Amino acid sequence: MKAFSERLMALAFVAFCLFYGLSATTIAVFPGREHELITSRSFPYGLTIVGLLCALYIAVKAGADAEAEEAGQPVRRQLDWLRFAALIAVSVAYSFLLERTGFIVSTTLFLAAGMLVMGERRWVPLIAAAVAPPLIFWALLEFALDIHLPSFSWPGA
Amino acid sequence: MPSILKPLFLRRSCFCAVLLAYVCLQGVAAEACDATGDTPADMARLHFLVPGGAGGGWDSTARAVGEALRRSGLAARVSYENRSGGGGGVAIAHFIETAGRQQNTVFVGSTALVIRSLGGLLPQDIDELVPIASVVADYGALVVRADSPLQDFAQLSTAVAENPRQNKVAGGSVRGGMDHLVLELAMIAAGHPAGRVPYVAYDAGGQALTSLLSGETQVLSTGVSEVAAASDQGQVRILAITSPERLPELPEVPTLLELGVDAEFANWRGFFGPPGMTEDERKRIACVIETMTRTPEWETQRSRLALTNFVRRGTAFDAFLRDNRRQLDRLMDSVRAGKKAATQ
Amino acid sequence: MAGLEVATRPTNLLLVSAGCFAGTLIGMLPGLGPVSAIALLIPVTYAFDPAGALILLAGVYYGAVFGGSTSAILLNAPGVAGTVATTFDGFPLARSGAAGKALAVAAYASFSGGTLAAVMLLVAAPALATVSLSFQSPEYFALMVLGLIAVTAFAGEGGFAKSTLMAVVGLMLATVGTDRTDGVMRFTFGRLDLLDGISFLLLAMAAFALSEVLLAALNGETRQTTNKLADMGSLKLSRKEVQDVAPAIGRSSLLGFLIGVLPGAGATIASFMSYAFERNLAAPKAQKEFGKGSLRGLAAPESANNAASSGSFVPLLTLGVPGSATTAVMLGALISYGINPGPSLFVDRPDVFWGVIVSMYVGNVVLLILNLPLIPYFARILALPQTFLVPLIVFFCLVGVYLVSFNVFDLYLMIAFGAVAVVLRRFRYPMAPMIVGFTLGGLLETNLRRSMVLYDDSFSFVWERPITLLIMVLTVLIVLLPVLRKRWRRAVTD
């Protein structure tokens, strides 16, 4: 199983390198400099080749290594993909809301949601920890450093 | 004698009276700023949108103007917003998008943004914004190290004709960027085909200057403000500058014009309003800015920037921008055409 | 000496302290780097005389570098490129319960690095000026290659192939954006937000701090999990530890200073190089510790980056040439004070010249005095249960990146990278080579292309220039070193 996933990962890299290399062909070259040895495309092309070589090597060798290793593997603990996904979702939601509902509101919501995702169930500390940091941060930036964070602006966005 | 580059640059003079008179004449010809009714101190708040990071060219100009406005009492409160990215494109996009909400906000613009607009590097062209006024300009300079065998521009020109690849020119912008264009402007006007001189790009003027000093390159194309200090120190020799007249702080440096090379270029910096800005609003802010440029507080700020006054507003600014744009467009075309020619 | 007199004037002492304190706070918040901090403070400094103003700014600079180290060690969040190498061993140390010791070592190493550099500056500044100019594009190219190979050549976890692949990925990510030579767009897919490329902070936060906390969520670490970091251990170093670390500090300070003197190479490459150098130099037993919590591995980049920060003042003060973004801003500040740095600064304004140098030393002392007592408090942050810490760190990363560009796209990008980084880490692909490749990639390519233009489209600069050749040979040696070592050991034991 491990060998398979290692190989899969390496193949993912191969796909990535191919994608990169293909995109590199669309790079414009400064007019008149096409004849030069090294152009804006050279480096990307070079990297594509090296990347492909490495990825293919890993696909072959590391896969074999993993097979050998697999013999003495202890039982792996369960991974909490749900929590992981939830945390990411909450972060994305925060980014979405940041410029719409403003810094203080979105940060408070995010911290509260984040803490809930991580398993916090005590309400009082949760609310305190969700409200205090954004306020402190906002005050520090707005007044001490004259840096403006977004405020509520959904209708206009 | 018709030249493709009309001299439209304001004469910089030490005498405020002359400046004032000239500006007033301009004002009379265009729209006048009321000397009486329009008390600029009713500018309660002015917000600057800077398309670059703190410490950069746009930023230092904006802050200098803001400081002068504040200290002279012309504006009660000034604030700044740095929104860098995309070479200014991000800020322009943001400004246009949020135009409805931008009361009393001005955008800091310069030649660099016009160049990028023309080059298609910005999704929105800077000419979608409403020009308010320009305040300063930096002129281009062609520089060599103090111990260089090239004593003047004529010698450089001869060297380019005889052995083009020998003298490499460093510049603080990418190929096709401002420093490169200034070089090409000078060379083309001096009679050389475009793209003849090898241009070596650096990230910024400071790096390009280092390259010159270390001997990596032989010539430098950059703004006067970036080399004025080095010139004073005797580290470099400025061969020529692209201003219409000699600059007071560099009395011994000839202009390209007086050397018979028909090339003038000003890297101006000015302010723009959001699309949809009313004519009254535009005039009001322009007048405040113009009044500021006559204050002693501005003089302090300006000399700190080591830049030259270049104050235009209203229809005069609009006209200047049109010509500036045309000049740059033609120049950029020649550079591209020249590059192709050089490889054939 | 005039400098000492200037530096110890009460107002200037106050300024340096204020600068260091403010700088540390600012440095701990990613997104507010020393460059912005200095630029924002310049108007404040107009109230003081030029020497005092510069002293304040220098204090901010050092403080920021130190602050960056703190968040690098405690949170695996390198705010400044020069502190990435600090995370390699600093964070593992913190994880294993020795946060206090790690912060202390970092403080001492930074102090030593900065002080040694100040001494070297005092002694050799004018002489070094000419040296700094002899490094041109080909040399920088070679130096970048050396730096890249040096850090990557040593297999971290996962093996040599994975290291190299990650380095390549880093280099690939560095090509996104506007080409620095020709101005053409690469891999931007029509997105305006990518025109300037991917920001360093974004990638560093995603690859290190963010992936770390996401991994914690994935592994099910909730408030039930006792936080090892809470036990931060003693701040004291045993005699043996001091003996172990001291020579590394000495070597790294020298290396860091010399690299810092070169305009265009700064704290970043100095820290990577010294880390790789020390790892190379260590005996095999000690070498294995690198990356897992080696004190040497922490001390080396810490002294190097401070030494390099001091070193970068050499070209500024002696030639008026800015060696980095920070010194470029300082140059602007100097000019606006009416001072023209250059060869004559030494003669015309010795008070400024020497004042700055001596204040560096003073600043280092102040930093140490200010920060050592505060370390226990900083380390307490980690005593928070994971339920609080994880969201806070994510917030920290997101806001930090937002403050750099005010662009929400960057946040989405960072989250995406963070998620990918978690997957990569589970498959034991190391992040370090990637970030090194990313940081050095742009400079590497730019200098290569510039060298080609300067040498009329040929590679002759590699063999025509002695320094370049030397560095390239060194690079090849480093690649071959493990092989050579094995051969040698085999020969010895036979």
Mark whether A97 and A43 lie in a shared domain: no
Q: Where does the pLDDT of residue A72 fall: very low under 50, low under 70, confident under 90, or very high at 90 and above? A: very low
Nearest Cβ partner for B63 among C43, C180, C454: C43
Q: Which domain holds residue A39?
A: 2-70
Pull the structure tokens for residue C50: 């030029």
Q: In the predicted model, what is the mean pLDDT of chain B?
A: 82
- Between chains, do A148 and B79 touch, taking CB under 8 Å as contact? yes
**Taking every pair of C-alpha atoms in chain A, what is the biggest distance, in angstroms?**
69
Nearest Cβ partner for C386 among A92, A118, A129: A118
- Between chains, do A114 and C419 touch, taking CB under 8 Å as contact? no
Instruction: Indicate if the pLDDT at residue B91 is higher than 60.
Output: yes
Nearest Cβ partner for A32 among B80, B101, B339: B339
- Between chains, do A31 and B342 touch, taking CB under 8 Å as contact? no
B204 C-beta neighbours (distance < 10 Å), count: 17
- Dist CA C1 CA B80 (whole Å): 42
Instruction: Indicate if the pLDDT at residue C413 is higher than 70.
Output: yes
The number of residues in chain C equals: 494
Calculate mean pLDDT across residues C311-322: 78
Instruction: Indicate if the pLDDT at residue B311 is higher than 70.
Output: yes
User: ipTM value of the model?
Assistant: 0.88
pLDDT given at position A145: 64
Mark whether A140 and A103 lie in a shared domain: yes
Mark whether A58 and A98 lie in a shared domain: no
Determine, yes or no, domain membership for A129. Answer: yes
Residues of chain B contacting residue A30, judged by C-beta atoms under 8 Å apart: 175-176, 339
- Dist CA C83 CA B39 (whole Å): 52
- Between chains, do A30 and B176 touch, taking CB under 8 Å as contact? yes
Instruction: Indicate if the pLDDT at residue C306 is higher than 60.
Output: yes
pLDDT given at position A83: 87
Backbone angles phi, psi at B242, to 5 degrees: -100, 25
pLDDT given at position A156: 42
The number of residues in chain A equals: 157
Q: How many CB pairs under 8 A join A and B?
A: 27
Q: Where does the pLDDT of residue B239 fall: very low under 50, low under 70, confident under 90, or very high at 90 and above? A: very high
Partners of residue B144 on adjacent β-strands: B219, B237
- Between chains, do B53 and C182 touch, taking CB under 8 Å as contact? no
- Between chains, do C454 and B200 touch, taking CB under 8 Å as contact? yes
For CA atoms B69, B71, B73, B76, give the dihedral sign: positive
Determine, yes or no, domain membership for A76. Answer: no
Partner C, chain B 195-214, Cβ-Cβ below 8 Å: 198, 200-204, 206-207, 209-211, 213-214
In angstroms, the separation between the Cα of residue B335 and the nearest Cα of chain A is: 9
- Between chains, do A29 and C187 touch, taking CB under 8 Å as contact? no
> B234 to each of A116, B145, B230, C278, how far by Cα in Å?
66, 9, 6, 43
Q: Where does the pLDDT of residue C303 fall: very low under 50, low under 70, confident under 90, or very high at 90 and above? A: very high
% of chain A at pLDDT higher than 90: 27
- In three-state secondary structure terms, B188 is helix
C233 C-beta neighbours (distance < 10 Å), count: 16
Least CA distance to C166: which residue of chain A?
Answer: A51
pLDDT given at position A63: 63
For residue C192, is it left (φ>0), alpha (ψ between -120 and 50) or beta? Answer: alpha
pLDDT given at position C180: 84
The answer to which of B82-86, C204-208, C469-473 has the lowest mean pLDDT is B82-86
> B267 to each of B114, B137, B228, how far by Cα in Å?
10, 5, 16
Instruction: Please identify, among A70, A90, A125, the residue that sits at the C-terminal boundary of a domain.
Output: A70
Give C109 or C336, the one with higher predicted confidence. Answer: C109
Nearest Cβ partner for C39 among B55, B201, B232: B55
Calculate mean pLDDT across residues B124-151: 91
Residues of chain B contacting residue C341, judged by C-beta atoms under 8 Å apart: 229
Residues of chain B contacting residue C197, judged by C-beta atoms under 8 Å apart: none
Nearest Cβ partner for C391 among A57, A78, A114: A114
Q: Are C260 and C266 in contact (CB under 8 A)?
A: yes
Mark whether A30 and A87 lie in a shared domain: no
Mark whether A151 and A87 lie in a shared domain: yes
Least CA distance to A89: which residue of chain C?
Answer: C415
Residues of chain B contacting residue A156, judged by C-beta atoms under 8 Å apart: 98, 100-101
- Between chains, do A95 and C411 touch, taking CB under 8 Å as contact? yes
Number of H helices, E strands in chain A: 5, 0
List the beta strands (DSSP E) in chain B: 43-50, 75-82, 105-110, 130-145, 169-171, 199-201, 219-223, 236-241, 266-273, 308-313
- In three-state secondary structure terms, B62 is helix
For CA atoms A95, A98, A101, A106, give the dihedral sign: positive
Q: Are C149 and C475 in contact (CB under 8 A)?
A: yes
Q: Are A29 and A41 in contact (CB under 8 A)?
A: yes
Mark whether A105 and A139 lie in a shared domain: yes
Q: Are C242 and C292 in contact (CB under 8 A)?
A: no
CA dihedral C248, C28, C229, C273 (to 10 degrees): -30
Instruction: Please identify, among A38, A70, A102, the residue that sits at the C-terminal boundary of a domain.
Output: A70
Least CA distance to C410: which residue of chain A?
Answer: A95
In angstroms, the separation between the Cα of residue A92 and the nearest Cα of chain C is: 7
In angstroms, the separation between the Cα of residue A152 and the nearest Cα of chain C is: 15
**What is the domain count for chain A?**
2
- In three-state secondary structure terms, C492 is helix
Determine, yes or no, domain membership for A131. Answer: yes
pLDDT given at position B10: 36
% of chain C at pLDDT higher than 70: 89
Instruction: Indicate if the pLDDT at residue C320 is higher than 90.
Output: no
Residues of chain A contacting residue B100, judged by C-beta atoms under 8 Å apart: 156
Mark whether A52 and A114 lie in a shared domain: no
Q: Are B233 and C317 in contact (CB under 8 A)?
A: no
pLDDT given at position A73: 52
**CA of residue B34 relative to chain centroid, distance:** 28
A interface with B, Cβ–Cβ < 8 A, is 30-35, 146, 148, 153, 156
Q: Where does the pLDDT of residue C285 fall: very low under 50, low under 70, confident under 90, or very high at 90 and above? A: confident
List the beta strands (DSSP E) in B69-198: 75-82, 105-110, 130-145, 169-171
Calculate mean pLDDT across residues B167-190: 90
Q: In the predicted model, what is the mean pLDDT of chain C?
A: 81
C379 C-beta neighbours (distance < 10 Å), count: 26
Mark whether A103 and A151 lie in a shared domain: yes
In angstroms, the separation between the Cα of residue A36 and the nearest Cα of chain B is: 10
Q: Where does the pLDDT of residue B36 fall: very low under 50, low under 70, confident under 90, or very high at 90 and above? A: very low
Q: Which domain holds residue C94?
A: 2-493
Residues of chain C contacting residue B174, judged by C-beta atoms under 8 Å apart: 178-183
Number of H helices, E strands in chain C: 23, 2
- Dist CA C461 CA C142 (whole Å): 10
Mark whether A66 and A85 lie in a shared domain: no
Beta-carbon contacts of residue C65 (< 8 Å; ≥ 6 apart)? C23, C27, C34, C80, C82, C83, C110, C267, C305, C306, C309
Q: Where does the pLDDT of residue B6 fall: very low under 50, low under 70, confident under 90, or very high at 90 and above? A: very low
Instruction: Indicate if the pLDDT at residue C173 is higher than 80.
Output: yes
Best of A25, A34, A83 to substitute, by most chain C Cβ atoms within 10 angstroms, is A83
Instruction: Indicate if the pLDDT at residue B147 is higher than 60.
Output: yes
pLDDT given at position B11: 40
Instruction: Please identify, among A70, A94, A110, the residue that sits at the C-terminal boundary of a domain.
Output: A70
Element (H or E) spanning C178, and its range? Answer: strand C177-178
- Dist CA C208 CA C210 (whole Å): 6
Domains (range + CATH), chain B? 20-137+265-330 (3.40.190.150), 139-262 (3.40.190.10)
Q: Where does the pLDDT of residue B26 fall: very low under 50, low under 70, confident under 90, or very high at 90 and above? A: very low
**What is the domain count for chain C?**
1
- Between chains, do B79 and A146 touch, taking CB under 8 Å as contact? yes
Nearest to B288 by CA among B305, B317, B313, B310: B313
- Dist CA A110 CA A92 (whole Å): 10
